[in-house]
Chains A and B, each alone.
Chain A
Amino acid sequence: MINKYFSWWLFLLLTSSITFADVSKADLSAREVVADFQAELLDTMKQGESMNFDGRYKKLSDPVINSHDLTKIARIVVGKEWKIFTDEQKKTLVKIFARLSIASYAHNFKGHSGEEFKFDSEKKTARGGMVIHTLLKIPGDQDVKLDYQMKKKENEWRIINIIANGVSDLALKRSEYTSILKREGFDALLAKISGKIEQYSTQE
């Protein structure tokens, strides 16, 4: 009898928390999605020096996956080539691109000396997107302008692009990847991305 009640409780608890989580995520504004992600980054930076790369990678995996639309980003950065990839190639690309994105954050955000993120302003784009303007305040140095381009994925706001002091990560990667695909092909692109992840994971 106890077991039966316990099972019901567990079931109710799980379903309610899932429902609650779904509603709260869908309710988050674009600004809140960015703020939550930046809070995770800041926390990682503060703990960064006591963690190794693997620790930071694990800590940032879910926050990156849940705040970015990595499938869409991967599709955009390879341009029109996406349409000629096989399903297997598409899955491989998205997976390795997700690893690269997490590894890149884990590599770059590994220490803290008073930096903080500050919301500046937000703006709607012409076709339903949002741009969240933020500043990275670095003590004793000039602020870095970080602009997040957001799009809705189903009901949730997701980061699609980050523009740092006018340099668009999406446009930069798109130029690099399409150039490699055109000159060297799909396998070479995967090899280069794998090499970059390896480089990040071995550099401290």
Chain B
Amino acid sequence: MCKFQRQSKFSKTKKNLLITAAFHLFGCTTMQVTENGNEIEENDSQVIAADPYEGFNRTMYDFNDSLDSYIFGPVVDGYKWVTPDILETGISNVFMNMKGINVFLNDFLQGKLQQGAQDTGRFLLNSTVGLGGIFDVATYAGLEPNDEDFGQTLAVWGIPKGPYLVLPVLGPSTFRGIPGVVIDTAANPISYLAWPVAAPIAAMAGIDKRATADSSLQFIDDAAVDRYVFTRESYLQHREYLATDGEQEFSDNDLLEDFDDEEGEDLLSGSSDLNVTDINKDEQQQSLDIAAETEGKLKQSQASQDSSGEVKTENADSVQSEKNSPAFKEAVRSFNKATRTYQEASDKLETIKKGDQL
């Protein structure tokens, strides 16, 4: 019995959480406190330091989102509709098994010898007894899968993650993630097949990856009030969790402690009208109107920002010095150009969509 078939709504949601984590990641929102205990510009500077290219990233995020809504999403919906669950699981297992080579290589690169031996055994068992990875017999034999990649290896080696970056098609990453993607691709057997064979397999791998992420994308839609920020923070947090094998310190613990001296009154005490059905519908409609209006204004301001060709690079002190270098200016110019290109592509997709609706 395939394990995906027996999941309840609840476990699906929780799995989303896992996959979201496996797919995304955490800007440590540590809060800085001055000597007298007051917050300084707290997470503003931290967030900007983690995401100095927010303007570019948001454009790229919208582009990927449009691409997903109009191309990848429908393709994957079709794939899931025509493919029996058991076959879908088998295909997914095969691609996961291929990634197994990369997993055990990175185990050894990180000095995890015992885990490396287990993951090697897992790969060999699934490749042979599991008929090329179709059946995940290793898990039943007690060899649970591990999640390792070259990005995590670089983290273990002490390479700083650098700013957050949304890559076209590939999605959330960091500067450190770019060499990670290159090496991970090189460690995947598909990369060494002749292109007429590799192309359909790579396309299938892409469809499988998107299908696996389907529930996590649904989870983002479900939980986020700002999808871009939610994706960025969950991506960065989970990458930190993976890189430290879940042993990271609670960096936001300080975030709680800073409020110790501000107990204040309990503003919820005596609230007897928390029934969700008591929300005034007019008030809610008014709020939704405000949201629509502000969203419109925001898009307008983004459009004017993009047309001026400027990438939003509000900077923390840490990136100020980099701004003065020719390489940085060149990178900003490239980003501006790429931003405009992707903005145009997004607009075209929107136009196509509107055309379809008419």
Q: Which residues of A are interface residues toward B (Cβ below 8 A)? A: 45, 48, 53-54, 57-58, 61, 65, 70-72, 74-76, 79-80, 90-91, 94-95, 98-99, 102-104, 107-113, 115, 125-127, 129, 131, 136, 138-142, 144-145, 147, 149, 151, 153, 160-161, 163-168, 170-172, 174-180, 182-185, 187-199, 201, 203
Contacts and interface: CB of A to CB of B under 8 A. Distances in A.
B295 to A, nearest CB: 8
A139 B15 CA distance: 12
Decide if the interface of chain B is mainly helix, strand, loop or mixed.
helix
Bin chain B's interface residue count: 35 or more
Interface string B256-292: 1101101011111001011111010001100111110
Interface of B: 3, 6-11, 13-15, 17-18, 20-21, 26-29, 39, 41-44, 47, 144, 222-226, 229-230, 232-234, 237-238, 240-242, 246, 248, 250, 252-253, 255-257, 259-260, 262, 264-268, 271, 273-277, 279, 283-284, 287-291, 294-295, 298
B31 to A, nearest CB: 8
B7 A141 contact: yes
A136 B15 CA distance: 11
Contacts of B266: 71, 153
Contacts of A65: 268, 274
A140 B252 contact: no
Given A168-B29, A182-B44, A194-B284, 9 more contacts: A80-B39, A108-B13, A149-B256, A153-B266, A166-B246, A172-B237, A179-B226, A180-B226, A195-B284
B276 A102 contact: yes
Nearest to B10: A111
A188 B18 contact: no
Contacts of A131: 250
Contacts of A171: 26-29, 233, 237, 252, 255
Contacts of B144: 142
A99 to B, nearest CB: 6
17 contacts: A65-B274, A76-B259, A94-B268, A104-B223, A141-B14, A149-B250, A149-B253, A164-B21, A167-B233, A168-B250, A171-B26, A171-B28, A191-B289, A192-B225, A192-B226, A193-B225, A197-B279
Contacts of B279: 99, 194, 197-198
B226 A166 contact: no
Contact of B230 (A79, A109, A112, A176): A176
A145 B162 CA distance: 27
Contacts of A198: 279, 284
Decide if the interface of chain A is mainly helix, strand, loop or mixed.
helix
